[in-house]
Amino acid sequence: MLSPTRSNMDPLTALNTASAAITLLNMLIPQIQGMFDAGQITVEQQTKIQTEYAALKANLEAGTLFQGPEWQVRDPD
Amino acid sequence: MKTKLTFNIISALAGILFLAQGCAEMAPDGVYKGDALLYRADSIIPMSYTLLHTYVQWEYTNREMLKGTPQIKASADYVRLNAKNWITSAMVMREAYALVKSDENANKLQASLAILSSALNEATKYMTAHAVTNPK
């Protein structure tokens, strides 16, 4: 697999990267907190997870996922 | 450095999430009836889509600025080509396991979740590497 290289990053890239990071953090932290705060996965949390899975499945079946320009493979440079 | 720290935290949280859900105690009267594997699958599959979407969106948004790092393009394009198959396969295995809870179906579901986990690690690795500012 390809290995990453480190590079200098301009402020806009840093801003976009930080924005992506915040999105991920907002998503991950509640799930992990819910997992450990109550000592077990609660009934409510189970229902929420099942609902989220059902929504994703419905969107996949409706063909609304993987559709934006960000999902298009770029032409070789 | 703050951005690097943020991504290190994300990597750690993602790892914790994947590991912890395998051994978390389930409230027995929940919709999963104590089935931790099914709960884990339903947690990981939507989150994987969101994380992979965030990754390709990040590369798309920063395309010009990441031009000097072709491995980002290769990695993001690899995700673009395969993510739908990874997610769809995991869902198919999840549905099969939900229908028939055999060891074989459980193993297939776990294998498909492992593929998703590997893809997320890859995406996080690249975003982390490029969140490092001015390494000396």
* β partners of residue B26: A41
User: Which B-chain residues 78-107 have CB contacts (< 8 A) with chain A?
Assistant: 80-81, 83-84, 87-88, 91, 94
State how far residue B101 is from chain A, nearest Cα, in angstroms.
17
Instruction: Give the up-direction half-sphere exposure of residue A6: CA atoms within 13 A in the CB hemisphere.
Output: 10
Read off the tokens for B114: 């492992």
Average pLDDT estimate for A5-18: 58
Whether the model pTM is above 0.90? no
Does A14 or B53 have the greater pLDDT score?
Answer: B53
Q: For A42-64, write each residue's pLDDT tens digit.
A: 899 899 999 999 999 999 999 99
Q: From the CA atom positions of chain A, what is the Rg in Å?
A: 18
The answer to whether B38 touches A51, Cβ cutoff 8 Å, is no
The answer to whether B22 touches B90, Cβ cutoff 8 Å, is no
CB neighbour class for B85 (10 Å; exposed up to 12, middle 13-18, buried from 19): exposed
The answer to whether B80 touches B56, Cβ cutoff 8 Å, is yes
Among A6, A8, A46, select the one facing B27 at the smallest CB separation.
Answer: A46
Q: Which residues of chain B have pLDDT under 70?
A: 1-24, 128-136
Q: Which among B40, B131, B32 is positioned nearest to B90, based on CA atoms?
A: B40
- Give B134's contacts in chain A (Cβ within 8 Å): 8-9
**Is the Cβ pair A7, B68 closer than 8 Å?**
yes
Task: Please tell me the predicted confidence (pLDDT) of residue B134.
Answer: 31
Q: From the CA atom positions of chain B, what is the Rg in Å?
A: 17
Separation CA B130–CA A10 (nearest Å): 11
Q: How far is CA B63 from CA A26, A53, B55, B68, B72, in A?
A: 24, 31, 12, 10, 9
Among B47, B61, B80, select the one facing A73 at the smallest CB separation.
Answer: B80
Single-letter amino acid, residue B16: I
Single-letter amino acid, residue B123: A
Mutate to test the interface with B, among A16, A17, A23, A74 (most CBs of B within 10 A): A17
**Is the Cβ pair B27, A43 closer than 8 Å?**
yes
Reported confidence tier of residue A41, pLDDT bands at 50, 70, 90: confident
Among A10, A65, A71, select the one facing B65 at the smallest CB separation.
Answer: A10
Question: What's the angle, vertex CA B88, arms to CA B86 and CA B89, rounded to 5?
Answer: 65
Task: Please tell me the predicted confidence (pLDDT) of residue B12.
Answer: 56
Task: Please tell me the predicted confidence (pLDDT) of residue A31.
Answer: 59
Among B54, B56, B77, select the one facing A24 at the smallest CB separation.
Answer: B54
Read off the tokens for B40: 């884990």
